[in-house]
Amino acid sequence: MDQTEAEGRIKYLSEVLDKHNYNYYVLNSPIIDDYTFDQMMDELIRLERNFPELLHPASPSQRVGSDLNSEFKQFPHKYQMLSLSNTYTEEEVKEFDQRVRKLTDEDFEYVCELKFDGTSISLTYENGLLIRAVTRGDGEKGDDVTSNVKTIKSIPLKLKGDFPAEFEIRGEILLPFAVFDAINLEREESGEQPFANVRNAASGTLKLQNSSVVASRKLDAYLYYVLGNNLPDDGHLELLKHAASWGFKISEHTRKCKNVNEIFDFLHEWDIRRKDLPVATDGVVIKINSTRLQQELGFTAKSPRWAIAYKFKAEQVSTVLISVSYQVGRTGAVTPVANLEPVLLSGTVVKRATLHNEDVIRNLDLHIGDVVFVEKGGEIIPKIISVDLSERHPMNERINFISRCPECDTMLVREEGESAYYCPNTKGCPPQLKGKLEHFISRKSMNIDGIGSETIELLFQNNLVRDVADLYELKDKDITNLERLGEKSVSRILESLENSKNVPFERVLFALGIRYVGETVAKTLAREMKSIDRIAASTFVELTEIDEIGGKIAESIISWFKDEDNLKRIERLKKHHLNFETQVESKEGQTEKLKGLSIVISGTFENISREELKTFIELNGGKNVSSISAKTSYLIAGENLGPSKLEKAQKLKIPILSVDELLQLTK
């Protein structure tokens, strides 16, 4: 066979195999047997091996997997990949509906869709070809797992029909129950630990370095969210129907709802029917259908304002409370933990459950030896929800919260307005010191590779590290002879410590472990204040004027910088050249002509996307805000301007500009 004949045969086999993949994995309606399919796949692989110049990246053979994967690289999300706020009651759903209706006076519909219990993925297509698959990661960037995702047969490598030139589609990668059971049986027979649940199994499989093993695991996927410019419809559900015509697997159970009563009907129906599905679900996602209105409503720091997740009531089991132990965290908070007789719950064996704080113990009126009912909060963390009083023995001892730290014997304190007891010995309590070190080295903080909790324990026990600044003063000779640390491990640790000096300021700030300063607050502070010295010198009023910084956070920041030991730590870290200032990169076209202006964008625009417009505003020093208030400087109005925004802008006498008028402001 010459190259021309091979090219024709490869094209034919690719088209036929794509068609049968779609019939089998998306339509669930196979028209040929597995043997015939495998024979055609073998022929295609053989031809591509003999004529490598004819191998196309979207070939069905790419689903077989490869042994050549290197470590995953991180890739930034074009659109932030935020998680949803969770609700657990119908009352909370009503409150969500009321919040939305206060933000807009438009009529709108909701869409209800099953919340699949797997691992989130974002797929990018250009000219009909899958070019990248990225996990959620931290919402701003994730792991590039394209080679593994190509092995999932329900995800098309090449689209059909009339699709946009470039777009992104998001969904959930799943492991069907039948496949999960078969894998676990195989693992048990080979002496391996079975997977705890389908979610962990799907997530773990997607991160395997060997894509041929990923292919063998038979992952599945449902897609549920289309993003991009020039999409063919405004409706979310309508876009999903378009996506189905392009070749994507979309849940057939998604439904429009006009009001909360129709939403409740959907919730009641699927709380029962979901148990018959071949894949795991843990709730329902409720979204506004109009993508234009979604953009109008925008996002909070952590989640969209136009969608929530309703979580189904978790499974409950009963068991016996053996004892209560107490854990001390890096902030000094003391958390009681229930030790239970082992019991199977939602696919995992549960031996411990959180009790949160003293109030929970008191409200439950817990006694040692009680028969208790346990469920998984959000189907993840086990917790005790009630006690079977009919089973209580009269001699069972009541549980009283401890008064002294279980680690350093310091008297515990409980501040007014706080639910937890704290150990105030922040500079001498071992778990607090080790907790601060573990937080500092973690991936979302300084990402110091080669040091984990065991290594921290080893360094701590050998009096080499007590403070995070001590890490940067470690020498080769200090750690080479420590147990479990070989020459390669030591070299890796020292190299990673050196590399961490390039971590941006916002993550260094988060790594310091200031109480209430999480990832989002750290980013906000770094963006607004620019440097650690500026934050240290800030007043309460200056801090609380920053969006998302409330009084509690401001007081914590001020208190932290009043501590001389903290200031000494900063100075020591500065000497090791960590980033304590925001590195401002000069970008082409950057000005400050919109500095101090808060700008709201509403509607759609003919020659520029909303994202491009937001970038332009930020590039010129302006601030994008999602809702109109008395502090708003301008409303930039496009086609289909939201009437509620227009009315509010007119009422507050906010200037309304076109895109051209905005551009004039920067000239």
CA 261, CA 319: separation in Å to the nearest integer?
A: 37
Beta-carbon contacts of residue 426 (< 8 Å; ≥ 6 apart): 332, 432
Q: What are phi and psi of 664, to 5 degrees?
A: -65, -30
Residue bearing the bigger pLDDT, 619 or 557: 557
Tokens coding 340? 């239970």
Long-range contacts of 398-407 (CB under 8 A, 24+ apart): 398/365, 398/366, 398/367, 399/324, 399/361, 399/366, 399/367, 399/368, 401/336, 401/358, 401/361, 401/362, 402/326, 402/334, 405/328, 405/334, 405/429, 406/325, 406/326, 406/328, 406/334, 407/328, 407/431
pLDDT of residue 65: 56
Contacts 24+ apart (CB under 8 A), 100-104: 100/288, 100/297, 100/305, 100/306, 103/297, 103/305, 103/627, 103/644, 104/293, 104/296, 104/297, 104/642, 104/644
Asked if pLDDT for residue 467 goes beyond 60, the answer is yes
Tokens read off for 16: 């036929």
Alpha carbons 565 and 557: distance in angstroms, whole number = 14
DSSP state of 594: T
Write out pLDDT tens, residues 205-255: 888 777 777 888 889 999 999 999 889 999 999 999 999 999 999 999 999
Which stretch of DSSP H or E encloses residue 9? helix 3-21
Q: What is the residue extent of each domain of the chain? A: 3-64, 82-311, 321-425, 430-502, 505-575, 598-665
Cβ-based neighbours of 22, under 8 Å, separated by 6 or more? 156, 247
- CA–CA separation, 133 and 415 (whole Å): 47
CA dihedral 586, 591, 594, 598 (to 10 degrees): -10
By the 10 Å C-beta count (0-12 exposed, 13-18 middle, 19+ buried), 171 is classed as: buried
Q: What's the pLDDT band for 192 if we cut at 50, 70, 90? A: low
Q: Which fold has domain 3-64?
A: Helix Hairpins (1.10.287)
Q: Which residues have C-beta within 8 Å of that of residue 32, sequence separation ≥ 6? A: 20
Task: Write the DSSP assignment of 338-383 as a string of letters.
Answer: EEEEEEEETTEEEEEEE--SHHHHHHHT-BTT-EEEEEEETTTEEE
Strand order, beta sheet including 598-602:
623-624, 598-602, 634-637, 656-657
DSSP codes, 10-76 = HHHHHHHHHHHHIIIIIS----S-HHHHHHHHHHHHHHHHH-GGG--TT-GGGGG--S---SPPEEE
Q: What percent of the chain has pLDDT over 90?
A: 49
Cβ contacts of residue 422 below 8 Å, gap of 6+?
A: 331, 332, 333, 334, 412, 413, 414, 415
pLDDT (average), residues 524-551: 88
Q: Is the pLDDT of residue 68 over 50?
A: no
357 in Cβ contact with 420 (< 8 Å):
yes
What residue spans of 51-192 are helical by DSSP H? Answer: 90-103, 146-149, 177-189
Asked whether residue 379 carries a pLDDT value surpassing 50, the answer given is no
Q: Which of 320-334, 379-393, 434-448, 528-542 has the lowest mean pLDDT?
A: 379-393
Task: Please give the pLDDT value at position 584.
Answer: 58
**Domain 430-502 sits in CATH 3.40.50.720:** no
The per-residue pLDDT for 248 is 96
Whether residue 340 has pLDDT greater than 90? yes
As given in the structure block, the two tokens for residue 342 are 């082992």
What number of CA atoms fall less than 13 Å from residue 491's CA on the CB side? 3
CA–CA–CA angle 269, 271, 277 (5° rounding)? 95
Between the CA of residue 175 and those of 206, 217, 236, 285, 527, what are the distances in Å?
10, 8, 26, 20, 40
Residues in the chain: 667
Radius of gyration of the chain from its Cα atoms, rounded to whole angstroms: 28
Task: Determine phi and psi for 71, rounding to 5 degrees.
Answer: -65, 145
What are the phi and psi torsion angles at 592 (to 5°)?
Answer: -120, 25
Is residue 427 flagged as an active site residue? no
This prediction's pTM:
0.56
pLDDT of residue 29: 56
pLDDT tens per residue, range 450-466:
888 889 999 999 999 99
Which CATH number among 2.40.50.140, 3.40.190.10, 3.30.460.80, 3.30.830.10 corresponds to the domain 321-425? Answer: 2.40.50.140
- Rounded to an integer, what distance in angstroms lies between the CA atom of residue 266 and that of residue 286? 10
Give the homologous superfamily in CATH for domain 505-575: 5' to 3' exonuclease, C-terminal subdomain (1.10.150.20)
Q: Are 522 and 509 within 8 A, CB to CB?
A: yes
Given the candidates 3.40.50.2300, 3.40.800.10, 3.30.470.30, 2.70.98.60, the CATH classification of the domain at 82-311 is 3.30.470.30
pLDDT, position 380: 56
pLDDT the model gives residue 55: 85
pLDDT tens per residue, range 123-149 = 999 999 999 999 988 888 888 999 999
CB 356 within 8 A of CB 419: yes
Look up residue 471 and give its two tokens: 């890490």
Same fold, 430-502 and 505-575: yes
Nearest CA among 515, 537, 533, 518 for reference residue 582: 533
**Higher per-residue confidence, 623 vs 95:** 95
pLDDT band at 53 (very low <50, low <70, confident <90, very high): confident
C-alpha span between 18 and 44 (Å, rounded): 12
**C-alpha closest to that of 80 among 495, 402, 475, 519:** 519
C-alpha–C-alpha distance, residues 665 and 296, integer Å: 23
Which numeric CATH code is attached to 598-665? 3.40.50.10190
Tokens (6 digits) for 203: 């997530």
For the chain, what is the mean pLDDT? 87
Q: How far is it, in rounded angstroms, from Cα 73 to Cα 143?
A: 6
CA distance 367 to 357: 15
pLDDT at 28: 47
Instruction: Please give the pLDDT value at position 516.
Output: 85
Helix and strand numbers (H, E) in the chain are 24, 21
Q: How confident is the model at residue 67 (pLDDT cuts 50, 70, 90)?
A: very low
Q: Confidence band (pLDDT; 50, 70, 90) for 315?
A: confident
Share of the chain above pLDDT 70, in %: 92
Q: What is the mean pLDDT of residues 569-591?
A: 83
Token pair 């959000």 in the structure block, residue? 378
Calculate mean pLDDT across residues 327-348: 88
Residues 6+ apart with CB under 8 A from 446: 440, 500, 503, 507, 508, 511
- From 456, 350, 358, select the one nearest 399 (Cα to Cα): 358
- List the catalytic residue out of 11, 78, 102, 115: 115
Is 617 or 71 the better-scoring residue by pLDDT? 617
Q: Which two tokens stand for residue 26?
A: 């998306």
